[in-house]
C-alpha cells in the first residue's frame, strides 16, 4: 500500500490559511488602534485574545497539512491552547507571573511536539515553505506571549514588539502566497483530494487497475506494487518492496531493449516495449510495458511508473499465426513465397557465397495416392519432409512447392558437398521402409539442381532445375527399361 503521504497543498487548506490570516490581521489592527487611542486594558486583552485564536486556527490548519498523527490529538492541542490563553487573559492579573508564562510555554511546546517532521511532500520546496510558515507562527506566538505578559503585568509601551509581530504576519502571508503557486490547477482533482488523501485515492486507482502497476524511486527500488503484480509474479509485497524490477529478469530480453529504455528515461520520455520476464515459480512470461518518469511540482524527477500487461497468450497466438502463414500445414516446411523471399534476401547478404537450388519430387507418388489413398500419400509427404530436414539442416531452407514437389536452397557449399548431401538423402530413405505400404517399399525421388548466379532471376532458376529434374527422371526410367 502507498504510505508515503506525498501530496500537494489542498485548495481547501490554502483558503482556510487565508481566512485565518485575515482574521489575525483584523484583530491586530484593532489591537493597535486600542493602544493608540489609549482604550481600557480589557479591550487590549480581548483583541490580543482574538489574535491568539487566529494563530490557533493557523496552527490547526498547518497541523492538518504537516501532521499524519490523529486529528483528535491536533484538535485537543488546539482546544487546550485556546482555553489556556483564555484563562491567562481572564485571570492573568491574579496569577503569578511565572505560572502564566509557564502555561504559555506548555501550550507552545505541545504544538511543537505534535508536529510530525517525518512527513514528506512531492517537492522539497513545498516542505520547506510549510516548515518556514510553522516556524514563523511559532515565533509570533512567543512575541504575542511577550505582549500579553506586558499587558497583564506592566503598561504596554513597546510598540516595536507589535511592529515585529506585524512583520512576521506579513512573512506568513508571503509563505501562503508561495504555497498558492504550488496548488493543483485541476480543481476537480483538488476537490477529490479534499475528501480523501491522495495516497488512498492512488491505492484505489492502482489496485482496481486490471494491469500490473509498479512504482519505483529514482534508485529503481520498488516502493509500490499493486495486487495484480503480486498475482502475476507470485512474489509477495514484502519481497517486491525495496527490490528492483531486475528481480523479474529472465535473461531472455535483448540487451537492446534495456538500452532503449535507459535512453528514453534519460531524455525524460515515456517508453513502450516488451520484456520477457520470469515469475517466482520459474515460469516465463511476456509483458507489454509502458514506463514513464513522474516529476514533482518543481519539475524534478521523483518516480518511475510502469504499467504492464501480460501478453504471453496473445504473443503465443500471434507466433502460431505467423508460423502457420509461413509454413505448410502438413509438413511444416516453408511455403513457396516465404522460401523465395528468404532465398533472395540471403543472396543479397551473402553474395560472395556459392548458392544452389535443388528441385525434387517423389517417384511414383501418383501411383501411391491412387492405390493406397490420400492419407497414405500424406504420410509419404511427411516422411520425405522429415528426411529433408535431417539432411539439409545447415545453411539451407526447405520448401514444399506443392503436391509432391519440394525445393531446397543452400549457400556456402561446394558442388561436391551438395552431391554428398543428396547421396545422404538417398541412403536415409533406402534404410527406412514405408511400412504402411510394405516392409520392402522404399521412397525414391528425382531431382534437378542449379547453381544460382547473381543477379538472381528465380523464374529462370526454377526453369533450369525443373528441366534437370525431368532429365534425371527420364534417365532413371531408361535405366529401368
407 plus 461 within the same structural domain: yes
Task: Indicate whether 69 belongs to any domain.
Answer: yes
357 plus 411 within the same structural domain: yes
Task: Indicate whether 199 belongs to any domain.
Answer: no
Task: Indicate whether 214 belongs to any domain.
Answer: yes
Quick count: other Cβ atoms within 10 Å of Cβ 147?
A: 21
Q: What is the pLDDT of residues 363-401, one digit of tens each?
A: 999 999 989 999 999 999 999 999 999 999 999 999 999
When mean pLDDT is compared across 163-177, 213-227, 311-325, the lowest value belongs to 163-177
Q: What is the pLDDT of residues 266-305, one digit of tens each?
A: 888 899 999 999 999 999 999 999 999 988 756 788 889 9
Domain of 264: which CATH number?
3.30.450.20
pLDDT at 59: 72
Q: Which of 289, 314, 339 is the last residue of a domain?
A: 314
pLDDT at 263: 92
Domain of 340: which CATH number?
3.30.70.270
Q: Which of 407, 446, 442 is nearest to 427 (CA)?
A: 442
Task: Indicate whether 198 belongs to any domain.
Answer: no
User: The domain containing residue 364 runs over which residues?
Assistant: 322-480
157 plus 256 within the same structural domain: no
Task: Indicate whether 200 belongs to any domain.
Answer: no
42 plus 157 within the same structural domain: yes
**Residue 85 pLDDT exceeds 90:** no
Task: Indicate whether 187 belongs to any domain.
Answer: no
58 plus 123 within the same structural domain: yes
- Which grid coordinates belong to 199? 495516497
Task: Indicate whether 193 belongs to any domain.
Answer: no
pLDDT at 50: 80
Q: Which of 274, 294, 314 is the last residue of a domain?
A: 314
Task: Indicate whether 111 belongs to any domain.
Answer: yes
274 plus 399 within the same structural domain: no
Q: What is the mean pLDDT of residues 335-346?
A: 93
173 plus 91 within the same structural domain: yes
For residues 4 and 199, the answer to whether their CB atoms sit within 8 Å is yes
Q: Which of 287, 314, 341 is the last residue of a domain?
A: 314
Query: Number of folded domains in the chain?
Result: 3
pLDDT at 466: 93
**Residue 95 pLDDT exceeds 80:** no
When mean pLDDT is compared across 89-103, 210-224, 236-250, the lowest value belongs to 89-103
329 plus 241 within the same structural domain: no
Distance (Å, whole) CA 363 – CA 323: 29
308 plus 375 within the same structural domain: no
472 plus 361 within the same structural domain: yes
156 plus 82 within the same structural domain: yes
260 plus 399 within the same structural domain: no
Amino acid at each position: 500500500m502507498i504510505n508515503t503521504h506525498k501530496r500537494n497543498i489542498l485548495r481547501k487548506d490554502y483558503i482556510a490559511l487565508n481566512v485565518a490570516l485575515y482574521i489575525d490581521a483584523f484583530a491586530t489592527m484593532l489591537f493597535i488602534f486600542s493602544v493608540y487611542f489609549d482604550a481600557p486594558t480589557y479591550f487590549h486583552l480581548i483583541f490580543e485574545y482574538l489574535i491568539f485564536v487566529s494563530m490557533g486556527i493557523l496552527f490547526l490548519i498547518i497541523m492538518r497539512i504537516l501532521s499524519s498523527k490523529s486529528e483528535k490529538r491536533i484538535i485537543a492541542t488546539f482546544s487546550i491552547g485556546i482555553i489556556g490563553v483564555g484563562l491567562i487573559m481572564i485571570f492573568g492579573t491574579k496569577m503569578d507571573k511565572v505560572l502564566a508564562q509557564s502555561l504559555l510555554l506548555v501550550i507552545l511546546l505541545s504544538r511543537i511536539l505534535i508536529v510530525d517532521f517525518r512527513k514528506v511532500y512531492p517537492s522539497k520546496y513545498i516542505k520547506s515553505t510549510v516548515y518556514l510558515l510553522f516556524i514563523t507562527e511559532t515565533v509570533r506566538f512567543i512575541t504575542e506571549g511577550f505582549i500579553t505578559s506586558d499587558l497583564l503585568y506592566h503598561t504596554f509601551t513597546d510598540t516595536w514588539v507589535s511592529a515585529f509581530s506585524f512583520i512576521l504576519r506579513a512573512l506568513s502571508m508571503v509563505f501562503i502566497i508561495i504555497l498558492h503557486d504550488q496548488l493543483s490547477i485541476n480543481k476537480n482533482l483538488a476537490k477529490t483530494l479534499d475528501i480523501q488523501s491522495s495516497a488512498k485515492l492512488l491505492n484505489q486507482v492502482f489496485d482496481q487497475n486490471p494491469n500490473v502497476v509498479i512504482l519505483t524511486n529514482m534508485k529503481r527500488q520498488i516502493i509500490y506494487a499493486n495486487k495484480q503484480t503480486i498475482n502475476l509474479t507470485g512474489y509477495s509485497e514484502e519481497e517486491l518492496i525495496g527490490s528492483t524490477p531486475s528481480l523479474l529478469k529472465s535473461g531472455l530480453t535483448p540487451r537492446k531493449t534495456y538500452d532503449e529504455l535507459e535512453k528514453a528515461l534519460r531524455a525524460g520520455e515515456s517508453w513502450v516495449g516488451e520484456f520477457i520476464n520470469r515469475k517466482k515459480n520459474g515460469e516465463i512470461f511476456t509483458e507489454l510495458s509502458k514506463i514513464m518518469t513522474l516529476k514533482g511540482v518543481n519539475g524534478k524527477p521523483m518516480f518511475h511508473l510502469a504499467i504492464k500487461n501480460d501478453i504471453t497468450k496473445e504473443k503465443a497466438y500471434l507466433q502460431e499465426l505467423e508460423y502457420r502463414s509461413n509454413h505448410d500445414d502438413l509438413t511444416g516446411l516453408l511455403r513457396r513465397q516465404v522460401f523465395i523471399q528468404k532465398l533472395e534476401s540471403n543472396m543479397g547478404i551473402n553474395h560472395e557465397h556459392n548458392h544452389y537450388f535443388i528441385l525434387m519430387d517423389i517417384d511414383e507418388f501418383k501411383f501411391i495416392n491412387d492405390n493406397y489413398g490420400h492419407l497414405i500419400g500424406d504420410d509419404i509427404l511427411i516422411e520425405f519432409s522429415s528426411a529433408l530436414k535431417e539432411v539439409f539442416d545447415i545453411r539451407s531452407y526447405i520448401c514444399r512447392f506443392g503436391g509432391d514437389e519440394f525445393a531446397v536452397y543452400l549457400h556456402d557449399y561446394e558442388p561436391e558437398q551438395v552431391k554428398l548431401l543428396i547421396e545422404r538423402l538417398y541412403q536415409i530413405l533406402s534404410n527406412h521402409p514405408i511400412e504402411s505400404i510394405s516392409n520392402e517399399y522404399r521412397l525414391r525421388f528425382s531431382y534437378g539442381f542449379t547453381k544460382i548466379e547473381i543477379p538472381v532471376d528465380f523464374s529462370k532458376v526454377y526453369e533450369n532445375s525443373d528441366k534437370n529434374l525431368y532429365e534425371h527422371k527420364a534417365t532413371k526410367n531408361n535405366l529401368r527399361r
